[in-house]
Amino acid sequence: MKKFISLLIVMLLPITGLLAQNIVAAEYYIDNDEGFGQNTPIPLDEAGSEVTQSFNVDLTGISIGSHTLKIRVKDDLGHWSLATSRSFLVVEVIPEEESILTAEYFIDEDAGFGNNQPIALSSVGDDVTVTFTVDLTTYEPGIHFLYARTMNVEGRWSIVSHMPFVVVDSTELNSIVALEYYYYDATDEAIVGSDTLTYRFAKPQASITEPFLANVEALTSGESYVLYVWAINVAGRRSLVSTTRFDYCNNINGNCKQPLMIDSLAVTKIGCNESDLGKVKIFASGGNDDNYSYSLDSITFADNNEFPDLPAGSYTAYVKSGSKVVSREFTVSYISSEDECPPALTIDNLIVTNPGCDSNGTGQVEITASSDAEELMYSLDGENYTSGNVFESLEPRDYTAYVTDGENVAIEEFTIELPSEPQLNPVGEVTQPDCSNPQGGSFTVAASGGAGTGFEYSLDGTTFQENSTFNGLEAGDYTVTVRDANSCTATLDVEVTFSGNRPETPVIKAETNATTDSLSTEVILLVENVTGTFQWYLDGELIEGATTNQIELTSAGPYTVLVINGDGCNSALSTPFQVTSIEDKLAEAIRVYPNPVQAELTIALPTAITANKEVQVKLYDLQGRELLQQPVGRRSITTLDTQSLQPGIYLLWVQSPEVVLQKKIQKQ
């Protein structure tokens, strides 16, 4: 007659990160391990990350005495867990009723049956519950083991039950100084490296609740590991060991792949379609290679992830990516009602909004799907699902949209593209201004490409108009900017030239008529480079009677002039000559040479400026920055070293207590 022990066990599989792994197989062995998958299988009623399962253990051939039963499970990635153990005792069956008569305990060392610390029992029987106190006064701080056993009325002792505990010296509280740890390779089933690693705290800790920085240099991205870690106090004593399983992913380059896994199996039962056979669709993610192949026999792999025409029965789905292969078991069965058939699930539309030139280069997609299911979930990676169907801040690249109703998954690809820039071309001839209409220039441009719509045009890059024609233009160089509906821009340079014999633009210079250096020195503004009829302006207002090539200064302000030739054609208005005060008449009495200058500038000042006065000479650039300064005192001639100046235009200031005068200097 066979002997059995019936067990009810709870099997747990660690969940690492966001990867929910399922227990798909289990096995047990007594005393001796035949190897992974080679021991006695444990039939499972269902798969899951936590499984409660009853099963019988066949004890035929097991000798009388103490033995160890070990159990381990396998997940859907093909990884076996560490084995859990339970001790049991095979005894000779005695028909008489046995009762627990006495009990004893010992710590760490066994003094022999009946020679350890007795446990006082309040009653005897087959099942006794007792509470007792253990004296720990003589035990050193550290890890210890408490053992207990009972003796029946026949004088037979049971096997021992045991539990670990830690004795802590009160003086060592708040004194955790370091963590020690090592990694176990769950795939190769070997310890990583040869040395235990250490993490030391800056100051002693009462407890460890915060993450610590672990050394992962020896780990391989995409592999599975088990972390073993324990604490060390100031006395060098170790805590109990804590373990956790995880999949390591090195994300330094921002493109880390998750471990290969089967996300879901969409199984259609027999009777849900016109065929009298079922089917399965396999969905996978992760791995170091985006190319997946699928199989139901682990031998013949294909790119198609759908397997039709499956008779009722149990199957194993396999997915390969590179050298990695993962599997998951499933069952094809008959439907008992139409409610078991999966609802239709389709992606109806993907509304893709590509990025504009003002949106930091990101776009969005809105996924529209239909299904008989009450709730749909959406994803762009097949792993992280959300109830929202709009995804924003998408960088330009190819994407895959996923929609699931909990059992089925619909997939459709789409692309976020960078916007193209518009193009600008001139249309027809440029209308040139002439003598009769100096502001009669115009041109028209045409835009194409880009968004194709919403074109606006500008001559200053700031003020835009919908009209692509620009009128009222003087002769000159213009830059046209076009902006489309995506806020993308393009530019085009257009030259508007003058039609006709237009005089050169006059240039104003100052000249003195003085014969002395007195403050009554007369200064005039003069034009020498062109001939014709002149018209002078002060602050934009026409000066009556000022129609020759020179004018005597009467007021401060900006002076301009234009010239009219014999054909009646106007020149462009001159650059304004700014007179800041009437004292600027003295400016032309100042002699500056050479101008243009190279290494040294000589300044000769009239005595009207320097007599009995402290005078300073300063040189500024056109941005108003002071570059050189030279006190003149009462001297009439001084020099400035200009050798270090860059070529360009500078302003020379002569400053006395009464007046401030300026002149333009050109450095070659």
pLDDT score, position 29: 93
CA distance 440 to 622: 33
For residue range 286-316, list pLDDT tens digits in order: 776 668 999 999 999 999 999 988 998 999 9
pLDDT at 565 over 60: yes
Strand boundaries in 186-288, DSSP class E: 190-191, 197-205, 224-233, 242-247, 261-268, 278-285
CA distance 532 to 662: 30
Give me the amino acid identity at 650.
Answer: Y
What average pLDDT score do residues 512-529 get?
Answer: 55
Of the spans 169-173, 451-455, 584-588, which averages the highest pLDDT? 451-455
pLDDT at 339 over 70: no
pLDDT score, position 215: 86
CA distance 620 to 627: 6
Is the distance from CB of 664 to CB of 649 less than 8 angstroms? yes
Categorize the per-residue pLDDT at 439 as very low, low, confident or very high, splitting at 50, 70 and 90. confident
What average pLDDT score do residues 601-609 get?
Answer: 79
Tell me whether strands 660-667 and 489-496 are parallel, antiparallel or unpaired. unpaired
Longest dimension (CA), the chain: 150
Residues 6+ apart with CB under 8 A from 459: 470, 478, 479, 480, 481
For residue range 174-197, list pLDDT tens digits in order: 588 899 999 988 666 788 887 788
Whole-model pTM over 0.85? no
Give me the amino acid identity at 196.
Answer: T
pLDDT at 629 over 60: yes
pLDDT at 96 over 70: no
Q: Which of 84, 89, 117, 85 is nearest to 103 (CA)?
A: 117
CA distance 465 to 450: 18
For residue range 24-71, list pLDDT tens digits in order: 899 999 999 998 999 999 988 887 778 888 888 888 888 888 889 999
pLDDT score, position 113: 93
Is the distance from CB of 654 to CB of 661 less than 8 angstroms? yes
What average pLDDT score do residues 452-472 get?
Answer: 90
Q: Which helix (H) or strand (E) holds 610?
A: helix 607-610
- The CA distances from residue 461 to 426, 458, 465, 469, 482, in Å, are 18, 5, 11, 15, 9
Residue at token pair 């300063």: 618
Is the distance from CB of 325 to CB of 350 less than 8 angstroms? no
CA distance 491 to 487: 13
CA distance 8 to 56: 9
What average pLDDT score do residues 466-482 get?
Answer: 90
Local structure of 60: helix, strand or coil:
coil
pLDDT at 200 over 80: yes
Is the distance from CB of 295 to CB of 262 less than 8 angstroms? no
CA angle 93, 96, 98 (to 5 degrees): 85
Q: Which helix (H) or strand (E) holds 607?
A: helix 607-610
Give me the torsion for CA of 350, 356, 359, 364, rounded to 10°.
0
Categorize the per-residue pLDDT at 343 as very low, low, confident or very high, splitting at 50, 70 and 90. low
What average pLDDT score do residues 579-592 get?
Answer: 66
pLDDT score, position 78: 83
CA angle 383, 389, 394 (to 5 degrees): 75
Categorize the per-residue pLDDT at 170 as very low, low, confident or very high, splitting at 50, 70 and 90. low
pLDDT score, position 521: 41
